[in-house]
Chain A
Amino acid sequence: MGMPTVVPQQRFERETYLNKEYGIWSWLLTTDHKRIALLYLISITFFFFIGGFFALLIRLELLTPAGDLVQADTYNKLFTQHGMVMVFFFLIPSIPATLGNFLVPMMVGAKDLAFPRINLLSWYLYIIGGIIMLHCMLTGGVDTGWTFYVPFSSNFTNTKFVEAGIAIFIAGFSSILTGLNFVVTIHRMRAPGMTWSRLPLFIWAHYATSIIQLLGTPVVAITIVLVACERALHLGIFDPKLGGDPVLFQHLFWFYSHPAVYIMILPAMGVVTEIIPCFSRKRIFGYQFVALSSIAIAVFGFLVWAHHMFVAGISVYSALVFSFLSYAVALPSAIKVFNWTATLYKGSIRYDAPMLYAFGFLGLFTIGGLSGLFLAALGINVHVTDTYFVVAHFHYIMVGGAVMGYLGGMHFWWPKISGKLYPEGWARLAALIVFIGFNLTFFPQFVLGYLGMPRRYYDYSHMPEFQVLNVLSTAGATVLGVGYLLPMVYFLWSMRYGKPASDNPWNAAGLEWKTASPPPTFNFDEEPVVTWEAYNYDELDAPPQAQEVTVA
């Protein structure tokens, strides 16, 4: 039960994207979207563990109320670098640049992305940005917080803000280029018969993500340039003494950085929308609503940014409007959650590892989203601003949501990517450990924040009653760390020792499962023609075959 079908025979040397060429240059100069996806996979995993290392140090410092592990300045740098690395070098590229890169062309039935060389360029820009960020961290780091608010970043900090800004600026362009490639590919490269209403919802989610990447990222890039200009040339943009306005920075910054959260979560929603129908053996409930809610999230996402600024001195009337709009963005998210749940209803549910992650996503994203509504309410927002409540909320979205989706997707498509099966038992165990570790880490932070523990404090010895919850959180972080290491170990193990995967081990719908595992360089031996609707699980399961059913 549950284990995917194994095809041990006939793995003769078929040409795939993995064995077509060998050698370092065949990877570094490749224009194959699948190989570029793997380059991204390796790079973001590297940065994930760097960001995780900073997180571990933060949690260790908070194990005791006294500031005894690192000094205050070092602590400021730790949470800054944790945020910058995780947001700009892991979360934003995570699903789009790896799974998206690998799957978007295959799912629409194309040979590659529209601009393969620009795709490679985007990886190089990411790497250049990453190297500058690494250099910045190794030679002192930044202490502005990942949001680098003025006037601290423009007038006061003596850490390496400009260098970090350049790193983020360059990495931003890699994100823009990925978005550009996806938009053009989805518009222009769909196989015959692959109409918009037959596209997998993973594609709709990536289309919405690309819109944000294209329209939002330039704004944060310009904002960085403006801060640098003010710092270096004393142009009056944000400094009132020079005729500027510091709150303008926050407007510009959050115009990108709020939608950036949707760059992280929309692709994860796309992943979950592929997994749930497959492991419930049902067509997705309300295809059009799920598709259009992705677009609605992308558009509404641009209308809510000032809810990050309720205590920054913005106009009360403006705050009211932004509060209302922030509630509005919950609607399309709720539509998705209800439609996933409705898809599960009366489905033949299987509890394989990808589905466990999808379930984890469903619960954690809902908690994260609902706590977001608390924060959208003006009164509560003022009460919990800059407390651990906010930290818990956005980690439920970014880690509980985006990373759960990412891991679920990695498990779901691993047989396609590597041609090997991962060990299912270990994978389920890891999913469980991640879920428990995550909640143990971040749920206490909701309570801490509501009780008034401020974020970004390295020393809370004046409120020692917060220690119990902080110890729970730190303990959870170590469990979570184990949960994240496990998949890396068994994925690597399975590349060498894993059982060969069949072309469609999950018996899933979708064009990517109709080609070989791993796929040939140009994805399909002949151009596919699509004559069926997406998620046609009723048709897939129709022929009389030994279909196992597990009762939920």
Chain B
Amino acid sequence: MAESAASGHSKSSPLKLYFGVWATLLVLTFVTYRVAYLELGPFNSVVALVIASIKATLVALFFMHVWHASEKLTKLVIVAALFFLLLLLGLTMADYATRTWS
């Protein structure tokens, strides 16, 4: 396993990219902080969640090597995880959305 893992990631991303992603994450964190002080009503949460999702995607793509993953299993895991997250959010929100229906 060890050697196949090593050969799979031999084209590992250069340090520059990692620092770039890191800087982007820091900038986005700062943006989250600043936006929290703007009066956007319900959109405060929306903006915060969108930024957080972008950050999570960056981490998964670059720090967790999903961008270069050739493994089908990796892709399967990501698709499955997103699908089940969607189920969790979707079915939970379906409850909240329909509570006031008469």
- Asked if A114 and B1 sit within 8 Å, CB to CB, the answer is yes
Q: Determine whether the beta carbon of B95 is less than 8 Å from that of A315.
A: yes
Contact for B84 among A248, A302, A322, CB less than 8 A: A302
Interface residue stretch chosen among B32-40, B47-55, B86-94: B86-94
A-B residue pair count with CB separations less than 8 angstroms? 54
Using Cβ atoms and an 8 Å threshold, which residues of chain A touch B88?
219, 251-252, 255
B73 touches A184 (CB 8 A): yes
Q: Tell me the bound Cα distance from A306 to B97 in angstroms.
A: 15
Instruction: Fill in one digit per residue for A229-260: 1 if any B CB lies within 8 Å of its CB, else 0.
Output: 00000000000000001011001100100000
Q: How far is the CA of A59 from the CA of B99 in the complex (A)?
A: 40
Contact of B101 among A251, A302, A314, A317 (CB under 8 A): A317
Central interface residue in A303, A318, A322, by most chain B CB within 10 Å: A318
B71 CB to closest chain A CB (Å) equals 9
Q: Is the CB of A303 within 8 A of B80?
A: no
How many residues on the B side are at the interface (Cβ–Cβ under 8 A)?
A: 17
**A215 with B95: CB separation less than 8 A:** no
* Residues of chain A from 175 to 201 with CB closer than 8 A to chain B in the complex: 183-184, 187-188
B26 interface residue per 8 A CB criterion:
no
Contact B91 A215 (CB under 8 A): no
Q: How far is the CA of A188 from the CA of B1 in the complex (A)?
A: 9
Interface assignment of A549: CB less than 8 Å from any CB of chain B: no
Asked if B98 and A318 sit within 8 Å, CB to CB, the answer is: yes
Which residues of chain B from 55 to 101 have any CB-CB distance to chain A below 8 Å in the complex? 73, 77, 80-81, 84, 87-88, 91-92, 94-99, 101
Which of B73, B81, B95, B98 has the most C-beta atoms of chain A within 10 angstroms of its own C-beta?
B95
Instruction: Evaluate contact between A318 and B95: CB separation under 8 angstroms.
Output: yes
**A215, closest chain B residue (CB):** B84
Residue of A nearest to B97 (CB): A315
Indicate if the CB atoms of A314 and B73 lie closer than 8 Å. Answer: no
| Cα distance A302–B87 in the bound complex, in angstroms | 8
Chain B positions within 8 Å of A, measured between CB atoms, are 1, 73, 77, 80-81, 84, 87-88, 91-92, 94-99, 101
Q: Could you tell me which A residues sit within 8 Å of B by CB distance? A: 114-115, 183-184, 187-188, 211, 214-216, 219, 245, 247-248, 251-252, 255, 302-303, 305-306, 313-318, 321-322
Sort A-B residue pairs by CB-CB distance and give the 9 closest, nearest first: A315-B98, A318-B95, A315-B99, A317-B98, A251-B92, A215-B84, A314-B95, A315-B95, A187-B73
